[in-house]
Each structure stands twice: as structure tokens, then as C-alpha cells.
Amino acid sequence: MALIETDRLALREFNLDDADFILKLVNEPSWIKNIGDKNVHTIADAQNYLLQGPIKSYQDNGFGLYMAELKLKGTPVGMCGLVKRDGLENPDIGFAMMPEFWGMGLASEAARAVLVHAKETQKIERVLGITSLENSSSMRVLEKAGLKFDKMISLPGYSEPSRLFIPN
């Protein structure tokens, strides 16, 4: 069941049946370059990633990353949601789309909807954004979603500095 809907997308909580999709998404070269290698190489690894990541976050924080699907067909296109990271006072918005769905505005559409849901339904007043230094596509998504670049930061567990985006 969709938690968040847009004109084209339905966002719902992940479940273990989504492991096949996660295995593909987190092994995309763009994911590994911009987000990092999560060492997810089997269906069992993908299920563990879901259990220790999004599913655990729903239980611990009341939010997490959500499966993004085309509303009419139910086709998985990516993920979008909120992440609680060490080193950040507020949750940040995370998103990733499969390459075949790039350039359609789906990441921006999902990000805007997640930010509205966070504020109106979950009563989260401030959501941040972070990107790697070279990830210009994600920077554009954050800007289209209403965030602006603030400063460079260092986060625990990341070897490179990150760009921090804050609400406009």
C-alpha cells in the first residue's frame, strides 16, 4: 500500500520481497560511485540490507527510505525517503533511481513528495540533503526539491567531504 503518492509515483515501505530490486539498484555503477559499495552481492545480502537499513529505520525512527514505483504499472524505479545519519542533527533526504528512469523528473517528484509528507504528516520541520562532491544530478534534485547548498561537511564513515543542503 502506498504511503505517499504523486502524479506518477507510489512510494511504499520496503519489504523482503524487494530484495531482487535492491540487489540491482545498489550494484549500479552510479550507486557505487556516488553512495558507496554496500557489499550487497546476493539476495540474502539484499534482504539483510533491507532489514538493517530501511526496515530498521521505520521501527527506530518512524521513517526511512521507500520503494518508488510507477503508479500505473507498479514498476520499481528507485528509492526515496528520509535517513537518520550519524553526524547530522536532522534527517536528510536520500534517493536513487535506476538509470533507465533518469531524466524524467522522477527523483525530483519523489523528493518533493517526501519533503511534504515529512512536514505535514510526520511533523518533521527540518530535512537536510547531502551529496558527494561530484554528484551534480543529485545536487539538481535537491535544488528542485527546495533545498540550497550551505557548506562542505565531513560525516563519520565517509572518506570524502559532502555537500550539505538546507531548506530554502
pLDDT in tens, 5-18: 999 999 999 999 99
CA distance 147 to 149: 7
Task: Provide the greatest CA pair distance for the chain.
Answer: 41
Q: What is the pLDDT of residue 36?
A: 87
What 8-state DSSP symbol labels residue 52? I
For 114-161, what is each residue's pLDDT tens digit?
A: 999 999 999 999 999 999 998 999 999 999 999 999 999 999 988 889
Domain 4-167 class in CATH: alpha beta
Give domain limits for the chain: 4-167
For 67-78, what is each residue's pLDDT tens digit?
A: 999 999 999 999
